[in-house]
Each structure stands twice: as structure tokens, then as C-alpha cells.
Amino acid sequence: MENVIELQHVNKAFSGFQLKDFSLSVKKGFVTGFIGGNGVGKSTTIKMIMNLLKPDSGTISIFGLDYKKHEKEIKERIGFVFDDNIFYENLTLQEMKRLIKPAYKNWDDALFHQYVEMFELPLKKSIKTFSKGMMMKASLTMALSHHAELIIMDEPTSGLDPIFRRELLELLHNLMQNGEKTIFFSTHITTDLDRIADYITFIHNGQHIFTKEYYKIEEEYAIVKGETNLLDRDTEREFIAIRKSNHGFEALTTNKQRAEAIFGKSVIIEKPTLEDIMFYTKKGNEKYAKSYS
């Protein structure tokens, strides 16, 4: 299977933060959701994928190409949606389009107007009057109007109302139908991923914890609930992290089958949500989490 995005052993350090030996493959034709808590390195990773930030070491290739030689070609094939305002605020959407259009040989005016209409965006109002939702829609319009093969979005659904969020996910889902496009996007709204993601990439404290097919996460990971007397030094090692209370314990395992074999019917085993996985991984020992990546 072809990889559209490939990061190998990427390192990037800021004071107080480090993206460590980060390797990632994003498969062509699928939607990959990029999840992780605040400040764990999602935007940093996305900026490096967009060549807005250079890694300290490691390699990044997009469509099998290197930014050093093929920056223009790579950028033409990407539609990028960023959660900050990247437009010149005093311009109108119409004026902004005139600026952006020449950068893309596949720019499609008819498609642009189709999205403007669909998103009910004003063409002649200054962008500074746009609400956060309108800004996101404008950003999406620009990203989708040049037949990009790869759509990269940094928290596209943040600040959007639930109805538009759902419509946006539907739109992205429809874009995926011919198998030629690839979407990579970060989000804090993990329930959005239920509707659309084929793969999940999970980053924690600058480390790649996993990239897995969504359905496999549910097969492998599990929340185990039981009485605290089932826990001892050996059984506790089975878990990424454990929450104990007066009523018993709740814990996350990366190996559901093994937990079933060890605890049998003495525990309740449930499907974890992505939020459970994020919560317990944060809670658990960093080294322990990494050994299961």
C-alpha cells in the first residue's frame, strides 16, 4: 500500500518540548485521524509535514518526494486547513481567491463557487468580519478548490457547531469515494473520528504511540473493570494504567485476549473509547506506554 506521508526518525526540539524519533506512515486512499492531548506535538508534526517547520534530524517525504527538490509540486497537491486565520484580514474572499489561485495549476473556479454557495460564504465582505466557523469554511473552500490529492487539516472541526461539523465530515467522507484522495487531520473531538477515520495515529509527549486501523484498536485494547483484590504486582503489570476506587478498579490493557485469559469471568471487559486510551496513556508510565507502540 502506497504511503502518501512518510516521516522517518524525525526529531524536533523546542525548549521544554521534544518530538522524539518520530516515524509515521499515512496510507493513500484513507482517512487518518491524528489524536493526542494538548501540547503533545500534533501541530508541530503537521507543520513539518507542510514544510512550515524543519526537523532537526530525520526525513520527511510526501508523495514519495522530498521538499528540498519538489516543494512546489508537493504543495500543489496538498489542500491545507489550519485552525488559525491564514488570510489577510482586510481582503474579501474574492480578493483572497485571486491571490491564491495562481499558485495552483488545477485551480477550479466552478468548484470554488460551488463551495462558496454550499457554505453560504459572502464573497465581498472583508474576511475580518468572519466568525470562526466562517473562517474555517473559507479555509476549507480554498483547500478543496484545486483538486488536492492530500488534505491535511489541523483541528478542522474545532469551533464549529455540531450540525456543520457533521456536514463537514459527510463532505469529507464523500470526497473519499474514488479512493484517490487521502486525508490526515488532527482533532480533539474524538467522536468525529467514529464517522470517518480508517486509521488512528496517537501521539503522546512527542512520541508516536501507535498508528492502527480503527477497528483493530477495539479488538486489541480493552477497559477491564473488577474488584481491587484481583490486583497484585503481576496483574498490575498487564495494564497501561489503573484507576482504583472504593468500588474496585478500572484499567486499560493493550491486549484484550490476554486480559480475558488471565481474569476470566471475574472482571467486566469493555470496549475503550479513544478518550479512554488517551486518558490512561497519559496517566500511565511513559516508558510502559512506549514499549507497546
Ligand X SMILES: Nc1ncnc2c1ncn2[C@@H]1O[C@H](COP(=O)(O)OP(=O)(O)OP(=O)(O)O)[C@@H](O)[C@H]1O
Phi, psi of 188 (to 5 degrees): -100, -10
Q: What is the rounded CA–CA span in Å between residue 144 and residue 138?
A: 10
Look at phi and psi of residue 147 and say left if phi exceeds 0, alpha if psi is from -120 to 50, else beta. left
To the nearest whole angstrom, how small is the minimum distance from the Cβ of residue 10 to ligand X?
13
Binding segment (CB under 6 A) for ligand X, from list 39-47, 134-142, 210-218, 248-256: 39-47
- The verdict on 207 binding ligand X (CB under 6 A) reads no
To the nearest whole angstrom, how small is the minimum distance from the Cβ of residue 47 to ligand X?
8
Residue 249 belongs to what H/E stretch? Answer: strand 248-253
Query: Which cell numbers hold the place of 169?
Result: 465530515
- The verdict on 42 binding ligand X (CB under 6 A) reads yes
- The verdict on 253 binding ligand X (CB under 6 A) reads no
User: For 70, how many CA atoms within 13 A lie in the half-sphere containing its CB?
Assistant: 12
- The verdict on 17 binding ligand X (CB under 6 A) reads yes
Q: What is the rounded CA–CA span in Å between residue 200 and residue 65?
A: 24
- The verdict on 44 binding ligand X (CB under 6 A) reads yes
Among 7, 24, 30, 43, binds ligand X (CB under 6 A): 43
Give the chain's end-to-end CA distance (angstroms, integer). 21
Query: Which cell numbers hold the place of 27?
Result: 496510507
- The verdict on 52 binding ligand X (CB under 6 A) reads no
- The verdict on 41 binding ligand X (CB under 6 A) reads yes
- The verdict on 226 binding ligand X (CB under 6 A) reads no
To the nearest whole angstrom, how small is the minimum distance from the Cβ of residue 154 to ligand X?
7
- The verdict on 275 binding ligand X (CB under 6 A) reads no
Query: Which cell numbers hold the place of 273?
Result: 473509547
Among 38, 177, 178, 229, binds ligand X (CB under 6 A): 38
Among 13, 14, 129, 293, binds ligand X (CB under 6 A): 14
Q: What is the rounded CA–CA span in Å between residue 264 and residue 267?
A: 7
In the region spanning residues 78 to 137, those forming contacts with ligand X, defined by CB under 6 A, are none
